[in-house]
Amino acid sequence: MRFSEPYLLNIYHWVIMSHHFHNAVEAVNLKELSDWIGKVCSRYGVYYHKIHGGSGRLWQDGIELS
């Protein structure tokens, strides 16, 4: 991912599924991991809404993305 460089993370694997995602990430600092996950969620939300329309948070209330 383009924005992983400022973080001290080793990203081994990631996959986005219909209603959740998985990451295999090694982090030295828990705050950096938290910030990175927040950025992943935010950027994917922007991308998803650009492609499919809509607004708001994704992966809430068990709603599956189409």
What pTM value is reported for the model? Answer: 0.67
pLDDT at 2: 53
Distance CA 13, CA 36 (A): 14
Q: Is the dihedral of CA 46, 48, 53, 54 positive or negative?
A: negative
Q: How confident is the model at residue 64 (pLDDT cuts 50, 70, 90)?
A: low
How far is CA 17 from each of CA 9, 29, 59, 64, rounded to the nearest angstrom?
Answer: 22, 26, 10, 9
E strand residue ranges, 1-66: 9-16, 21-27
| pLDDT tens-place string over residues 24-48 | 999 988 998 999 888 888 888 888 8
Domain-by-domain residue ranges, the chain? 2-52
